[in-house]
Amino acid sequence: MQIATWNVNSLKVRLPQVIEWMQKSNCDVLALQELKLDNANFPIEAFTSLGYHCVFNGQKTYNGVAIISKLPIHDVYMDMPSFDDPQKRVITATINGVRIMCVYVVNGESTTSDKFIYKLSWLENLTNYVEESLNKHEYFMILGDFNIAPQDIDLYDPIEWQGKVLCTDEERSAWGKMINLGLSDSFRLFHVEPKNYSWWDYRNFAFRRKLGLRIDHILINDNLKSIATQCEIDIEPRKNERPSDHTPVIITLNV
């Protein structure tokens, strides 16, 4: 079973790329972030006509998350139960016995911004939700655009990024609290080498120059860790014409 995450930075713009990638990759489940469209405009038929199931939690212009699956989707929950948030950033569902939480974490903008304070509060509430979910489900993963580079190895230039949003001590501490609940960064189970990135700025030929960050992640509990066989970053979609600035991350499970 293959499960992937991809911030598509506008599903309206990237829909043909998403469908093409799903068909070429033979992925079973794809979690999407940054849809940038509301539920009324979600392209349901584009997926269902090809045999996919889909659930979504959209928002006009900003945010929005979805799960697309070849397999039936059960027990869907929108948002976080203990956090009243108008921004649509979380959707959770069960597929083939695996509880999947798709998240689009707040960016934070800058350390002096109110959005940064909001990000830290949001992450605290997310961690509580993850802890509750871990206690309820045998197989659990949280995946998506975390807007956090956990270690310096996940940055093309740690000195340039030191103290900036996406890699501050506060954000990395929040990441650590979540990991310490009993989760593993699935990509690092299989890859310990540097220069593996999932996001590249559109500016300054960043992708061509390999100036990226690894901020898209798949975190898994111990039961999934025992059956995970691979986790890869597929950089090919970033080469598309009008690509997302992110690219898919895919985990393979022996399910």
The size of the chain, in residues, is 255
Question: Out of 28, 145, 216, 245, which one is annotated catalytic?
Answer: 145
* Active-site residue, 145 included: yes
The DSSP element (H or E) to which 16 belongs, if any, is: helix 11-25
Active-site annotation holder among 104, 129, 139, 156: 104
Residues 6+ apart with CB under 8 A from 245: 7, 9, 199, 200, 201, 202, 238
Pairing of strands 212-213, 199-200: antiparallel
Angle, CA 134 vertex, CA 128 and CA 140 arms, to 5°: 120
Q: Is 52 a catalytic residue?
A: no
Q: Helix (H, G, I), strand (E, B), or coil: what is residue 229?
A: strand
Q: How far apart are the C-alpha atoms of 66 and 35, rounded to whole Å?
A: 8
Query: Which amino acid appears at position 68 of this protein?
Result: I
**Which residues participate in catalysis according to the annotation?**
104, 145
